[in-house]
C-alpha cells in the first residue's frame, strides 16, 4: 500500500527537494558545459598575436555564433612562442579549417571567425599558417607618428 504525500517523512521530502534544487542551480550556472545543451567540442588554434581576444569572446562561422573562446594563453613550439586559443564550436570543422581574429565593435571587442574546410574532421589544432590576426589601427598610427617624428 502506498503512503500519501502527507504521511511521508517531511525531512526526507525536504532533503530530496533541496538536492533537486541544487542540481538545477548547478546546471543553470554551467549550461555551456552540459552535453547536448552546451556548446560543442573544444578545439585549439595557434596565433602569432592574440590581438585582444579574451575568454568569453564569440566564435562565428559566416557571421553566425557557433561557440565561444574558452582560454587564451602562451605556448611554445620548439623555441618559437605562440598564442594558443582554446574554443568551443557547434560547427563541423574540417582538417583545413582556418581562423581569423576579427573586430566586432568600434570599441575594439574581438571575435574568432572560422572558415570550415576539409573532408576529414579537425583533430589537431589549427596551425599558424591558417590563422590571422587583425591589424591594430591604434598601434599602426602610433608607430607611424613615431616614425614621422624621428625622421624630422
pLDDT in tens, 106-131: 777 889 999 999 889 888 888 888 88
Q: What is the pLDDT of residues 19-28, one digit of tens each?
A: 999 988 887 7
Q: What is the pLDDT of residues 37-59, one digit of tens each?
A: 555 688 899 988 887 888 889 99
Those residues whose C-beta lies under 8 Å from the C-beta of residue 25, and which sit 6 or more positions away, are none
Residues 57/70, Cβ–Cβ less than 8 Å:
no
User: What per-residue confidence (pLDDT) applies to 114?
Assistant: 92
Q: In which band, very low, low, confident or very high, does the pLDDT at 84 lie, cut at 50, 70 and 90?
A: very high
Those residues whose C-beta lies under 8 Å from the C-beta of residue 113, and which sit 6 or more positions away, are 60, 61, 99, 100, 101, 102
- Average pLDDT of the chain, as a whole number: 82
CB atoms within 10 A of CB 45: 26
Amino acid at each position: 500500500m502506498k503512503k500519501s504525500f502527507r504521511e511521508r517523512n517531511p525531512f526526507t521530502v525536504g532533503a530530496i527537494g533541496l538536492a533537486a534544487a541544487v542540481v538545477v542551480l548547478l546546471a543553470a550556472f554551467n549550461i555551456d558545459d552540459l552535453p547536448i545543451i552546451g556548446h560543442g567540442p573544444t578545439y585549439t588554434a595557434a596565433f602569432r598575436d592574440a590581438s585582444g581576444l579574451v575568454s568569453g569572446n564569440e566564435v562565428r562561422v559566416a557571421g553566425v555564433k557557433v561557440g565561444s573562446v574558452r582560454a587564451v594563453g602562451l605556448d611554445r613550439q620548439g623555441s618559437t612562442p605562440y598564442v594558443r586559443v582554446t574554443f568551443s564550436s557547434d560547427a563541423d570543422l574540417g582538417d583545413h579549417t582556418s581562423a581569423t581574429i576579427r573586430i566586432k565593435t568600434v570599441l575594439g571587442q574581438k571575435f574568432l571567425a572560422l572558415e570550415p574546410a576539409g573532408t576529414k574532421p579537425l583533430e589537431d589544432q589549427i596551425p599558424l599558417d591558417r590563422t590571422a590576426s587583425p591589424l591594430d589601427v591604434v598601434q599602426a598610427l602610433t608607430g607611424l607618428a613615431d616614425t614621422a617624428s624621428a625622421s624630422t
